[in-house]
Amino acid sequence: MAGAAQERRQHVLRAIVADYIASHEPVGSKALVERHRFNVSPATIRNDMAALEAAGLIVQQHASSGRIPTEKAYRAFVDSIHELKPLSSAERSAIVSFLEGGVDVEDVLRRSVQLLSQLTRQAAVVQMPTLNASRVKHCEVVLLSPVRVLLVLITDAGRVEQRNVELEHECTAGHVARLRELLNQLLGGKTLTEASAALTQILTKADNAQPADFDEAVYHSHTSRCVTVLKETLVEQPTDRLILSGASNLSRIARDFPTGLHTLLEALEEQVVILKLLANVQDLGHVSVVIGDETQDDGLRGASVVAMGYGLDGATLGGLGVVGPTHMDYSQAMSKVHAVAHYVSQVLGRS
């Protein structure tokens, strides 16, 4: 009997969560019995609700009102979702067609968050491919002036990073050609982490070199400056970027965020917390859900993040997901995030 009662309470909890997500209104025992056809009396359901309340899973805002789920209830609800609803063939075709229209990696990712925000009516975010996970495809050196060069680093994931380098001496076309050849030999095919040792070695070599003439000394000076900039700005302090879309969707539910919508928008704009959450999404096949206080950030109180990684050849390049209220439609959000992340990986793999 006790086992049956416990199982029924789990069904009652899922019903309360589902009804509250659908209506955003407190859920009463009578409505539960009528809507979900529990083969017990409203009094039994009220007893179940009292037990769920005692367990911290639901709360009653007023003496005469129904119950609303707590973050603990949302966690139990999400953990009970074992299968995601598949998209229709029309939905899948529309997603792939829209993403394949991207002209480059950044455009594909920008399209992905536009699509996600429209599909879920939440704010959507995507992390640009992390430099630590990407491999250097090419390093271009462009002479901007006699004492300034532009280093353009292109990764296999399509990410492009540019750095201006101020030189101590005038640079010639010959120096540029030698620098280009050297940097591509050092960096080609390597992650920036792997390239760090090679950069350190060449920097030490350049600093300790005994040039045969002034021109060679100038070239070594250029090498030292370029390698130093690459190490300090890319290898040791890589910058991650976030693309955001659909923040205006949150304005319709501004009252649902305890600290106010402006606080949540500030957290999104500052990017730090969201990037950290997305960086923790490493499994390409698994949707991660972080609910309310689990984000460990005051700016995201009352908000949840549903995310999944995207990547190439089994390697995760970044995370993609949605940010919305804790009462979001988790089943739908998880299904849409999974689908879009999957097709982003597929499109990138064909580009």
Give residues with Cβ within 8 angstroms of 129, minimum separation 6.
Answer: 105, 155, 157, 158, 159, 317, 318
The rounded distance, in Å, linking the Cα atoms of 155 and 135 is 5
Mean pLDDT of 62-68: 79
The answer, yes or no, to whether residue 181 has pLDDT greater than 80, is: yes
% residues pLDDT > 70 (the chain): 91
- Domains of the chain and CATH, by start: 1-80 (1.10.10.10), 89-130+240-349 (3.30.450.40), 135-235 (3.30.390.60)
Provide the pLDDT for residue 113: 95
Find the Cα–Cα–Cα–Cα dihedral 309, 311, 317, 322, rounded to 10°.
Answer: -30
Dmax (CA) of the chain: 96
Q: Could you give the C-alpha distances from 81 to 85, 289, 306, 334, 342, in angstroms and in order?
A: 10, 11, 13, 10, 19
pTM for the predicted model, two decimal places: 0.76
Provide the pLDDT for residue 212: 67
Mean pLDDT of 201-221: 76
Residue whose tokens read 């999944």? 308
Mean pLDDT of 245-258: 77
What integer best gives the mean pLDDT of the chain?
86
Provide the pLDDT for residue 330: 95
Provide the pLDDT for residue 96: 92
Mean pLDDT of 295-315: 87
pLDDT band, very low/low/confident/very high, at 1 (cuts 50, 70, 90):
very low
Least confident of 180-184, 268-272, 335-339: 268-272
% residues pLDDT > 90 (the chain): 40
Mean pLDDT of 19-40: 87
The answer, yes or no, to whether residue 72 has pLDDT greater than 70, is: yes
Residues 221-249: tens digit of each pLDDT: 898 899 888 877 766 555 567 889 988 88
pLDDT band, very low/low/confident/very high, at 306 (cuts 50, 70, 90):
very high
The rounded distance, in Å, linking the Cα atoms of 107 and 92 is 19
Mean pLDDT of 20-32: 88
Mean pLDDT of 302-316: 88
Bridging pattern class, strands 148-155 and 160-166: antiparallel
Mean pLDDT of 73-88: 91
Provide the pLDDT for residue 254: 62
By the 8 A CB rule, do 340 and 320 touch? yes
Q: Could you give the C-alpha distances from 282 to 18, 277, 319, 322, in angstroms and in order?
A: 29, 10, 8, 16
The answer, yes or no, to whether residue 322 has pLDDT greater than 90, is: yes
Q: Please choose, from the candidates 192, 128, 181, 189, the residue with its C-alpha nearest in 3D space to the C-alpha of residue 158.
A: 128
